């Protein structure tokens, strides 16, 4: 059975893996202390519960920075199974082991631990040195690094820079 003290572990996992193939997330960040702050929290210790952080939610761990208006951690049978970040926008930033920054913004980010997938919706913008992706709906498969955007009636747009331009 997991305890309330494990709540940040789920958020660490979410943030450390968000929107970058596993090799792109800064590997040392997971071993750094995590600082979490919010204007308010409402947490339950039960096995089937939702714990909520609200108002200026800030999560910092190594190079990882998460900012949202609200974070919900859903537990079923004692395990964290879903994490939802919302904001206008919710924002995740991290630097890779190669020193490249990643910045992702969306109105809502849903991380499903069982599927190891994330769904970003509402004004999605993902920016990395080699380009960016914009759309209303983007699904990210953490295991494969595959991004699936669109299919919601809205267009997806990408800008891919040549490798030489990204180095400038």
Average confidence (pLDDT) over 125-144? 86
CA distances for 17 relative to 13, 26, 44, 77, 161, angstroms: 6, 9, 25, 24, 23
Query: Is residue 61 left, alpha or beta, with left meaning phi > 0 and alpha meaning psi from -120 to 50?
Result: beta
Between CA 135 and CA 68 the distance in angstroms is 19
Q: What is the pLDDT of residues 68-119, one digit of tens each?
A: 999 998 889 988 788 899 999 999 888 877 788 888 899 999 988 788 788 9
Among residues 92, 93, 88, the alpha carbon closest in space to that of 107 is found at: 88
**3-state secondary structure at position 33:** coil
Query: Higher confidence at residue 168 or residue 57?
Result: 57
Domain residue ranges of the chain, discontinuous segments joined by + = 4-121
Instruction: Give residue 1's pLDDT.
Output: 37
* Statement: residue 8 has pLDDT above 70: no
Return the higher-pLDDT residue of 81 and 3: 81
The C-alpha angle with vertex 6 and arms to 142 and 56, in degrees rounded to 5, equals: 80
Interatomic CA distance for residues 81 and 59, integer angstroms = 19
Q: Class of the 4-121 domain?
A: mainly beta
* Interval 149-168 mean pLDDT: 80
Number of H helices, E strands in the chain: 2, 10
- What's the CA gap between 29 and 15, in Å, rounded? 10
Q: How many CB atoms lie within 10 A of CB 83?
A: 22
């Amino acid at each position: 059975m997991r305890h309330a003290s494990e709540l940040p572990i789920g958020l660490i996992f979410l943030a450390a893996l968000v929107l970058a193939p596993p090799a792109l997330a800064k590997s040392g960040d997971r071993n750094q202390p995590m600082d979490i702050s919010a204007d308010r929290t409402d947490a339950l210790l039960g096995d089937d519960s939702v714990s909520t952080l609200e108002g200026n939610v800030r999560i910092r761990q190594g190079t990882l920075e998460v900012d949202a208006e609200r974070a919900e951690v859903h537990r079923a049978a004692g395990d964290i199974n879903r994490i939802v970040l919302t904001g206008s926008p919710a924002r995740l930033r991290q630097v890779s082991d190669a020193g490249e920054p990643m910045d992702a913004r969306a109105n809502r980010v849903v991380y499903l631990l069982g599927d190891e997938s994330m769904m970003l919706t509402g004004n999605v913008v993902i920016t990395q040195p080699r380009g960016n992706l914009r759309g209303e709906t983007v699904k990210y498969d953490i295991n494969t690094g595959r991004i699936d955007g669109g299919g919601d009636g809205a267009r997806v747009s990408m800008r891919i820079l040549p490798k030489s331009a990204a180095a400038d």
